[in-house]
């Protein structure tokens, strides 16, 4: 008899809010051309609006990296360009079940439970950044210089960054794919711990030189049973949704709602 394989989707936990830049932010993009006096390191922009944004892959990758270090996971997978990371096929691995992994053979993959959306400027930030006069659209120049320790010869460079005070909207979705309450609680605790930890780390490049200090403001931390997506009546949808009121809008304080969300979703 053939083995029956399944991966149930029991519900979703959705975290939404704002990312506030406490210092300038640089998430780089490839240069389209080389110009004398031009930027050495441009930021990534939406190709249609030309607005800077935070790719979901950048935020997710940083969160994964912090969890690998926090859990002291071995960096056993080579990703090219001298980059190593942790990756395994153990479904109990707190890193790989949350962020996903690719196995060495067919059937060994662990699809990620975590979805991290691209983060775009809030309307208020867009209006404020439209007013600045830097010669760049929505961003600023940051001039830096490296000096030869012997001759004092300089190597100036121009880095583009999103100014301090800018704000982006974020959305993170966690797929509830197991009835194991302890496992779901561990995953949700890890997600909130990582957002909290990231506030004392940095997002993007050049963090050791002051870039990328951010703060997360959580506005929504809600659980949706799978029935929410098939319900035809408003009353049915409301019964399948739990959205606790958040007294403190920080990742750390959201942890107080994990127990009730998991009980609601899994009974």
In Å, what is the CA distance from 150 to each residue of 145, 146, 147, 155, 252?
15, 12, 9, 13, 48
- The pLDDT assigned to 143 comes to 81
Name the percent of the chain lying above pLDDT 90.
Answer: 72
> From the centroid of its chain, how far is CA 39?
26
pLDDT at 66 > cutoff 70: yes
Gap between the Cα atoms of 115 and 98, Å rounded:
9
What is the pLDDT averaged over residues 219-242? 95
CB 23 within 8 A of CB 50: no
pLDDT at 197 > cutoff 90: yes
137-145: Cβ within 8 A, 24+ apart: 137/50, 137/51, 138/50, 138/51, 138/52, 138/162, 139/43, 139/52, 139/163, 140/24, 141/39, 142/24, 142/26, 144/209
- The pLDDT assigned to 200 comes to 97
Q: How do residues 85-132 score in pLDDT, each as one tens digit?
A: 899 988 899 999 999 998 666 667 889 999 999 999 999 999 999 999
What is the pLDDT averaged over residues 209-227? 96
Q: Which two tokens stand for residue 238?
A: 């409301």
Average pLDDT, the chain: 90
SS3 of residue 144 by DSSP:
strand
- The pLDDT assigned to 58 comes to 97
- The pLDDT assigned to 36 comes to 41
What is the pLDDT averaged over residues 29-38? 53
- The pLDDT assigned to 142 comes to 87
Q: How do residues 127-179 score in pLDDT, each as one tens digit?
A: 999 999 888 899 998 887 777 788 877 777 889 999 999 999 999 999 999 99
- The pLDDT assigned to 4 comes to 58
- The pLDDT assigned to 145 comes to 75
CB 11 within 8 A of CB 176: yes
Dihedrals phi, psi of 252, to nearest 5 degrees: -65, -40
CB 161 within 8 A of CB 25: yes
What pTM does this model have? 0.91
pLDDT at 73 > cutoff 60: yes
Partners of 142 in the β-ladder: 159
**CB count in 10 Å sphere of residue 105:** 7
pLDDT at 38 > cutoff 60: no
What is the pLDDT averaged over residues 69-94? 89
Gap between the Cα atoms of 68 and 21, Å rounded:
24
Gap between the Cα atoms of 97 and 89, Å rounded:
9
């Amino acid at each position: 008899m053939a083995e029956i394989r399944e991966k149930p989707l029991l519900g979703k936990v959705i975290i939404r809010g704002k990312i506030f830049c406490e210092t300038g932010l640089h998430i780089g993009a490839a240069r389209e051309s080389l110009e004398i006096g031009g930027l050495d390191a441009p930021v990534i922009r939406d190709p249609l609006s030309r607005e800077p944004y935070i790719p979901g892959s950048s935020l997710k990758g940083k969160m994964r990296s912090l969890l690998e270090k926090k859990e002291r996971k071995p960096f056993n997978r080579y990703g090219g360009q001298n980059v190593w990371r942790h990756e395994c096929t153990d479904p109990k691995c707190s890193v790989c079940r949350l962020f996903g992994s690719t196995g060495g053979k067919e059937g060994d993959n662990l699809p990620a439970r975590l979805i991290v959306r691209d983060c775009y400027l809030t309307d208020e930030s867009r209006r404020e950044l439209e007013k600045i006069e830097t010669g760049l659209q929505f961003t600023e120049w940051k001039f830096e210089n490296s000096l030869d320790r012997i001759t004092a010869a300089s190597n100036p460079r121009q880095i583009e960054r999103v100014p301090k005070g800018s704000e982006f909207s974020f959305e993170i979705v966690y797929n509830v794919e197991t009835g194991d309450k302890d496992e779901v609680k561990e995953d949700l605790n890890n997600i909130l711990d990582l957002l909290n930890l990231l506030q004392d780390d940095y997002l993007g490049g050049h963090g050791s030189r002051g870039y990328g200090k951010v703060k997360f403001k959580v506005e929504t931390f809600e659980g949706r049973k799978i029935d929410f997506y098939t319900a035809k009546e408003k009353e049915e949808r409301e019964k399948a949704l739990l959205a606790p009121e958040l007294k403190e809008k920080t990742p750390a304080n959201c942890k107080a709602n994990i127990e009730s969300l998991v009980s609601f979703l899994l009974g």
